[in-house]
């Protein structure tokens, strides 16, 4: 089966809704490798820091900036993602960061309503020319806290955000938006992906299930939107794309990532 290439319909839907779901973005063989990597990668587990939600649940996140020759890097540099991002962001893109979000069984915490650009704006990006691709490492369901989005909310532009991620976006506006915009629970099978705009309002609930809920997110900035000041995020540098076949060709290769131990949401 050939790898995903974005259709004009998908492009139109993304422009209108702020997101698209791509079923089987990565196939069973590729996901077996990625799931194995996440399972055996002790550095990843150790690097994951905790983010408390408002009700005492604990979400975990490990975040890093490079996209190299290991499995995570090959996914982040794959044509199927990077070409899609280039179309969505209207030109050359570079790797902003990758992250693994982890919700442990029963205790895994929620992510409050926010826009990624609510935070990334503070890193000197003049324009909201950033986007993410979330890949389901585990099945993502309502019960285990799948991504929820407010369809079309990216058209609202950037809202005010609290400094800490779990303060989230200005809830007065989010609540008004909820009266008219459709709230979509993005339930995913393993290997499905969601491409979403950095101004799309999104959240996810706690993990009430007996299984972990892990997601791998690759995030990109447009080359022409490189931060105008020195920040904790990278300036533009060319991203070397790799063929979609590289993931299986290279197989289970894990590198020691340069994990960020500081919450990138907390700006002080």
Ligand X SMILES: O=C(O)CCC(=O)C(=O)O
Distance in Å, CB of 87 to ligand X, minimum:
22
Measured from the CB atom, the residue of 108 and 227 that comes closer to ligand X is: 108
Distance in Å, CB of 210 to ligand X, minimum:
18
Measured from the CB atom, the residue of 79 and 263 that comes closer to ligand X is: 263
Q: Which of 120, 113, 124, 125 is nearest to 153 (CA)?
A: 113
What is the distance between the alpha carbons of residues 129 and 225, in angstroms, rounded to a whole number?
7
Contact 195, 22 (CB under 8 A): yes
Distance in Å, CB of 218 to ligand X, minimum:
11
Q: Which of 215, 217, 216, 234 is nearest to 225 (CA)?
A: 234
> In sequence order, what are the beta bridge partners of 216?
100, 135
What is the distance between the alpha carbons of residues 40 and 9, in angstroms, rounded to a whole number?
38
Distance in Å, CB of 137 to ligand X, minimum:
10
Distance in Å, CB of 61 to ligand X, minimum:
6
Distance in Å, CB of 42 to ligand X, minimum:
21
Contact 208, 101 (CB under 8 A): no
Measured from the CB atom, the residue of 5 and 52 that comes closer to ligand X is: 52
Distance in Å, CB of 9 to ligand X, minimum:
26
Residue numbers of the site for ligand X (CB under 6 A)? 101, 111, 116, 147, 202, 204, 215, 217
Measured from the CB atom, the residue of 8 and 55 that comes closer to ligand X is: 55
Contact 107, 59 (CB under 8 A): no
Measured from the CB atom, the residue of 6 and 147 that comes closer to ligand X is: 147
Distance in Å, CB of 7 to ligand X, minimum:
26
Measured from the CB atom, the residue of 34 and 215 that comes closer to ligand X is: 215
Measured from the CB atom, the residue of 62 and 242 that comes closer to ligand X is: 62
Measured from the CB atom, the residue of 92 and 263 that comes closer to ligand X is: 263
């Amino acid at each position: 089966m050939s790898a995903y290439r974005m259709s004009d319909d998908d492009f139109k839907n993304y422009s209108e809704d702020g997101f698209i779901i791509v079923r089987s973005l990565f196939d069973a063989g590729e996901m077996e490798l990625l799931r194995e990597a996440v399972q055996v990668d002790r550095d990843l587990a150790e690097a994951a820091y905790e983010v408390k939600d408002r009700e005492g649940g604990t979400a975990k996140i490990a975040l890093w900036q490079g996209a190299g020759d290991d499995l995570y890097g090959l996914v982040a540099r794959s044509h199927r993602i990077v070409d899609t991002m280039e179309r969505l962001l209207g030109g050359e893109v570079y790797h902003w960061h990758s992250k693994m979000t982890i919700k442990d069984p029963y205790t895994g915490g929620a992510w409050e309503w926010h826009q990624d650009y609510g935070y990334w704006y503070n890193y000197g990006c003049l324009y909201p020319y950033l986007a993410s691709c979330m890949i389901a490492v585990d099945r993502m369901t309502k019960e285990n806290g799948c991504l929820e989005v407010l369809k079309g909310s990216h058209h609202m532009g950037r809202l005010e955000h609290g400094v800490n991620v779990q303060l989230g976006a200005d809830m007065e506006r989010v609540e008004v938006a909820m009266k008219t915009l459709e709230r979509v629970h993005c339930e995913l099978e393993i290997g499905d992906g969601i491409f979403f705009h950095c101004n799309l309002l999104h959240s996810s609930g706690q993990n009430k299930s007996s299984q972990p809920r892990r997601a791998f997110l690759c995030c990109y900035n447009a080359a022409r939107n490189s931060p105008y000041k020195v920040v904790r995020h990278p300036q533009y540098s060319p991203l070397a794309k790799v063929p979609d076949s590289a993931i299986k060709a290279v197989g289970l290769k894990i590198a020691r990532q340069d994990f960020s131990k500081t919450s990138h949401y907390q700006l002080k």
